[in-house]
Structure formats: C-alpha cells, structure tokens
C-alpha cells in the first residue's frame, strides 16, 4: 500500500520544504520508493531546493501536455550514488515540480467555480494514481501551499497522513488551532491520520554541546501541544529543535544525506519511525 503524506502549515516559513525533502530522502535511504511533489503552486520552491529546471512540470501533466514519465523526474542516480553501491539497495527518489513562472501561477489564481475545482481535483487524484501504478511507489510526499486555499485543500484531500507544521508563536498557534477545527476534523472523519509537528523550538543552540538537557528544560512547547490535543484531539510528533547551523545556512540541502549523523537527521529519522509505526 502506498502512503501519501501531505506536509502543511497555517502560514509560510515553518520549514515545510526542508522537512518534506529530507523526509523523502530518509525514506529512500531506508530502501523505499518515494515521490515528492511540489504542490505549493502559488510559491513553488522545490525546484530551487534541488537546483533543477525540468523540461516538464506537474502543471503540464494537469494540462494534459505530459504524461507521468515526463513530468516526474527520477533523481536517484544523482543523489544516491553511494547507496546504489550496495547490492540490495532498492530506494528510488522521484520528484515533481510546479512551474514557478508568473503565467503558470496566474493560471492557478484565475481558476474559479465549482466545476473548475472539481476538475482540478480529479486531475490531482489521477496524478497520484499514475505515480502509484506506473512508478510503484511506497510513499508520496506532498509539499503543500500554506493556509486554506483550494490547492491546499486538494492536496490534503489525496493524502492519508497529514502533518501540520508550526512554530512557537501566538499567530501560528491560533492559526493551527483554526485549521484543526475547521479543516482537519473532516479529513480525520474520513480516515486520514493527522499530526502536529512543532519545528524550530528553542533549546538546542544554547549551548549546542548539551542539546537534550536544554530541550527538556524548555517545557513551553509541551504545554502548547497538550492544549492543542485537549481542545482538538490532535496527536503530535516529537518536536524538531531549531538547529542554528541549518537555520542560518545560506543553503540547506538534504542534511540527512550530507550529514547523516547530524542531530536533525537523527531526530527526523525518529519522527519517521513514530509516524510509520502508527500506520
């Protein structure tokens, strides 16, 4: 069975793309076949993250101008050369990018009416089914648009696991609560599993030599998660600390591959175990 995981947030800047890309890469290193899709159609960034300018975009598939083999790119040979030296390595990484051009974004913005959105949703479902059947994937990871917009809702609708990322600020906490009440309850009612993932909590960087004690001393994030669970019933994954070297790096790129023993890589591996063990 293919699991489809959507990574969402109330507002931008919560680390969705970094989490999505590194989660996909970790699953590949575990031997899984994974597709990662950039469905943040209003502000696509995954192509910049991977430093690639594809000939075909997800948009082309949705417009019937490309098939799944043209719009989804296999990047395994580029990114996992060392892993492929192992005879039993079975992981694959497939990537699908949204077109960042002004015209492509305007086209999504101008879409209107119930019939239009039903049509787009059906195309998105078809894309998911093509990825599953043609590429034989174990996981599909979706980087969504933040907030409550048509494409955000469509992306969440095709997923069976929803990860709602947030930071420790009042606006984000209240907005997350709103999403849980108004949107996520419907998806959960129809069988989806939802999680809250707190990102960039304090405690790691000061001092970096004793991360665990500092994180444990800071109980604010635990109180927030307990309150959200109490009022919405939402479950949470282990929070991700703010790793200063990643946060302030000019370019974070697949830390789980380039630095597999980094605390971020180890923590994300633990989070994936939490999530997959609750399948």
**Domain chopping of the chain, boundaries:** 3-276
Is the bond leading into 207 cis (omega within 30 degrees of zero)?
yes
Instruction: Tell me the three state secondary structure of residue 33.
Output: strand
Q: Tell me, what's the pLDDT at 248?
A: 81
Q: Tell me, what's the pLDDT at 140?
A: 99
How many CB atoms are closer than 10 A to CB 169? 10
Beta-bridged to residue 165, according to DSSP, are 9, 197
CA distance 60 to 70: 9
218: its two tokens: 């800071």
Q: Tell me, what's the pLDDT at 147?
A: 93
Name the CATH architecture for the domain at 3-276: 3-Layer(aba) Sandwich (3.40)
Q: Tell me, what's the pLDDT at 184?
A: 93
For 95, phi then psi, to 5°, come to -130, 140
Q: Tell me, what's the pLDDT at 2?
A: 94
Going through 214-278 in order, the beta strands assigned E by DSSP cover 235-236, 240-241
Per-residue pLDDT of the chain (279 residues; tens, 9 = 90+): 899 999 999 998 889 999 999 999 999 999 999 999 999 999 999 999 999 999 999 999 999 999 999 999 999 999 999 888 888 899 999 999 999 999 999 888 777 777 888 888 999 999 999 999 999 999 999 999 999 988 899 999 999 999 999 998 889 999 999 999 999 999 999 999 999 999 988 766 655 455 554 555 456 778 888 888 777 778 899 999 988 888 888 888 999 999 999 999 999 999 999 988 766
Beta-bridged to residue 163, according to DSSP, are 7, 195
Q: Tell me, what's the pLDDT at 110?
A: 79
81: its two tokens: 């050369």
Q: Tell me, what's the pLDDT at 216?
A: 52
Q: Give the DSSP letter of residue 101.
A: S
Q: Tell me, what's the pLDDT at 212?
A: 53
Residue 240: C-alpha distances to residues 121, 197, 216, 218, 244 (Å): 32, 8, 12, 13, 12
């Amino acid at each position: 069975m293919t699991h489809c995981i959507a990574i969402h947030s109330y507002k931008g800047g919560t680390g969705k793309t970094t989490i999505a890309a590194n989660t996909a890469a970790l699953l590949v290193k575990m031997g899984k076949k994974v597709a990662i899709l950039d469905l943040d159609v209003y502000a696509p960034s995954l192509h910049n993250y991977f430093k690639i300018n594809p000939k075909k975009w997800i948009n082309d598939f949705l417009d019937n101008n490309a098939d799944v083999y043209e719009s989804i790119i296999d990047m395994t040979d580029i990114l996992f050369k060392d892993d492929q030296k192992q005879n039993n390595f079975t992981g694959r990484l497939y990537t699908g990018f949204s077109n960042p051009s002004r015209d492509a974004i305007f086209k999504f913005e101008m879409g209107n009416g119930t019939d239009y959105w039903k049509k787009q949703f059906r195309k998105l479902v078809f894309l998911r089914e093509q990825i599953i059947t043609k590429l034989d994937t174990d996981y599909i990871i979706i980087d969504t648009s933040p907030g409550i917009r048509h494409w955000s809702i469509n992306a969440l609708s095709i997923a069976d696991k929803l990860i709602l990322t947030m930071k420790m600020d009042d606006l984000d906490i209240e907005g997350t609560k709103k999403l849980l009440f108004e949107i996520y309850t419907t998806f959960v009612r129809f069988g989806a599993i939802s999680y809250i993932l707190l990102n960039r909590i304090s405690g790691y960087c000061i001092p970096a030599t004793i991360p665990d004690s500092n994180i444990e001393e800071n109980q604010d994030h635990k109180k927030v998660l307990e309150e959200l669970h109490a009022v919405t019933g939402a479950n949470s994954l282990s929070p991700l600390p703010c790793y200063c070297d990643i946060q302030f790096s000019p370019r974070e790129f697949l830390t789980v591959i380039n630095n597999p023993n980094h605390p971020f890589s180890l923590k994300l591996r633990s989070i994936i175990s939490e999530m997959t063990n609750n399948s």
